[in-house]
Amino acid sequence: MRLRCAVLDDFQGVATEVADWSELPVDVVVFREHIRGEDALATALADFDIVVTLRERVPFPGSLISRLPRLKLLVASGMRNSVIDYEAAAQHGVTVCGTASSSAPPVEMTWALILGLARGVVQESNALRRRGPWQSTLGADLHGARLGLLGLGKIGSRVARVGLAFGMRVSAWSRNLTAERAADVGVEPAASKEELLAHSDFVSVHLALGERSRGIVGAPELALMKPTAYLVNTSRAAIVDQDALLAALREGRIAGAGVDVFDVEPLPDGHPMRTAPRLLATPHLGYVSRDNYATYYGQAVEDIAAYLAGSPVRRLP
């Protein structure tokens, strides 16, 4: 009997286009629609030996893994995944492997949101197409403005360098940020999170999600921001209190927000983020690029081939 491989959440239907699966002795089944809920996942994946999952969209807790008796290999895009129960996987004889992931696409997505907010790109484009007003917004200047970064890791530092190229004054804060690290990137270390929020014209979130960062931007932090300031989050939704952000947008306490990550994904119909004012929202496109997908699925094929040969590669955690 040939092995069966499920590829989850291939919304664009490109997994078998950007990588060559033909040499694998497996039957590949692509799921283009998101499967929501453990019961539905257990039913849909019951007959699969291999599952390829996209980023952290589908949790694999022990309770789900125990309901998938045929599962032997789980491949996750990226080399870090917080929603897989690795201990349960090991207990049930499931090997977990990852892939490389480029930091360039989320950097570019961050700047797409910043520029879209600053120049009212969506509003002006829609007005032009619908014969609306000619020039209805007054753009916010980037040159000379202050860009505040929450996090100065691989992605945050690249965002910083683009800001510097625009002539922005760039500062950064995280609990572990040192003056030496800030100097290496060419930015100013903020004295505190509060100082960064209060003095920035654009705030961009680039922290890893953990217990210390969950909800680190809440109602008190948003209240510190200028009414002319913008918040951008391409990292993880839970870092920013979603209810507090919605309230700030509705009440006009900040100029706007650019969001690429949400508490529930895909975003359900009727979710308040779909209709919030002053919000430029995109459906988690940060990692979605042709080259990145070629890496994800190309290395997923490599992971499967290596596993079948008895020498798994890029094992997680």
Q: Which residues contact 231 (CB under 8 A, 6 or more apart)?
A: 203, 204, 205, 217, 222, 225, 240, 245, 254, 256, 257, 258
- The pTM is what? 0.94
Closest by CA position to 162, among listed 261, 232, 83: 232
Tens digits of residue pLDDT in 139-171? 999 999 999 999 999 999 999 999 999 999 999
Give the pLDDT confidence score for residue 193 in this predicted structure. 98
Instruction: Give alpha helix (H) positions in 54-172.
Output: 62-65, 86-91, 104-118, 121-129, 154-165
Tens digits of residue pLDDT in 264-280? 999 999 999 999 999 99
Residue 50, beta-bridge partner list? 5, 73
36 as an active site residue: the answer is no
Contact predicate 314/303, CB 8 Å: yes
236 as an active site residue: the answer is yes
CB-side neighbour CA atoms (13 Å) of 287: 18
Please classify residue 178 by burial: count the beta carbons closer than 10 Å to its beta carbon, then call 0-12 exposed, 13-18 middle and 19+ buried. exposed
Among residues 92, 265, 278, 315, which one is catalytic?
Answer: 265
Please classify residue 78 by burial: count the beta carbons closer than 10 Å to its beta carbon, then call 0-12 exposed, 13-18 middle and 19+ buried. middle
pLDDT-based confidence at residue 290 (cuts at 50, 70, 90): very high
Which DSSP letter does residue 274 get? G
Q: Does the pLDDT of residue 1 top 90, yes or no? A: no
Q: Does the pLDDT of residue 174 top 90, yes or no? A: yes
Tens digits of residue pLDDT in 54-110? 999 999 999 999 999 999 999 999 999 999 999 999 999 999 999 999 999 999 999
195 as an active site residue: the answer is no
Contact predicate 296/101, CB 8 Å: yes
Give the pLDDT confidence score for residue 108 in this predicted structure. 98
Which phi and psi (to 5°) does residue 67 adopt?
-95, 5
Closest by CA position to 226, among listed 252, 247, 246: 252
Contact predicate 251/257, CB 8 Å: no
Q: Which amino acid is at 220?
A: P
Distance CA 107, CA 160 (A): 10
Query: By three-state DSSP, how is residue 183 classified?
Result: helix
Contact predicate 78/53, CB 8 Å: no
Say what percent of the chain tops pLDDT 90.
100
Q: Which amino acid is at 310?
A: G
